[in-house]
Amino acid sequence: MEPYPWGDPRLPHHLFPPKKITPDELAKQTGALYFKIDTTNQVAMSKRIALLKLERNLTKEDTYTLDAENTIEFKDKIEELFEESELSDETARLIIEGSAYYDIEDGSGNWVRILCEYGDLLILPAGKHYRFTTTPEVFTT
């Protein structure tokens, strides 16, 4: 049996035909909020993140790098991160380098796939099911 019967989770897996939604539609369907952060301007980025943390009452912060060359047991880690999880608290995720997919359930139990690249910040709401994987580039920070 394949670990992902729908194929490699690192691929886009578009609906046919592909259906793209706006950040406003994403918020309405899933409760997830999308922001674009200018990562080239460190001062502006720090201010924007500090403001979002204050507005959303986000207190935790860490940096996590996931790549095929340096992450111990990378394949196992990817499988673990792709397991469906439920958020107990609102959580923010900023992609500093590389790219990744976040899948989050909408109100009907369908998965919405979000491609996140450098500068993309997602705020995932508490109580929602989500999963995560890298893109075929197999690198993200």
Domain assignment present for residue 101? The answer is yes
In a domain, 97, yes or no: yes
Q: Considering the domain boundaries, does residue 3 fall inside one?
A: no
Residue 16 lies in a domain: no
Residue 37 lies in a domain: yes
**Domain count within the chain:** 1
pLDDT over 60 at 1, yes or no:
no
Q: Is the predicted pLDDT of residue 2 greater than 70, yes or no?
A: no
Q: What's the pLDDT score for residue 14?
A: 62
Percent of the chain with pLDDT over 70: 89
CATH code for the domain in which residue 132 is found = 2.60.120.10
Q: Given this model, what pLDDT does residue 28 score?
A: 96
Q: Over 70: is that where the pLDDT of 80 sits?
A: yes
Would you place residue 61 in the very low, low, confident or very high pLDDT band (cuts 50, 70, 90)?
Answer: confident
Residue 61 lies in a domain: yes
| pLDDT exceeds 80 at position 100 | yes
Predicted confidence band of residue 4 (pLDDT cuts 50, 70, 90): very low
Per-residue pLDDT, 136: 82
**Average of per-residue pLDDT values in the chain:** 87
State the SS3 of the chain: CCCCCCCCCCCCCCCCCCCCCCHHHHHHHHCCEEEECCCCCHHHHHHHHHHHHHHHCCCCCCCCCEECCCCCCHHHHHHHHHCCEECCCCEEEECCCEEEEEEEECCCCCEEEEEEECCEEEEECCCCEEEEEECCCCEEC
Q: Which domain holds residue 51?
A: 23-140
Q: How much is the pTM?
A: 0.84
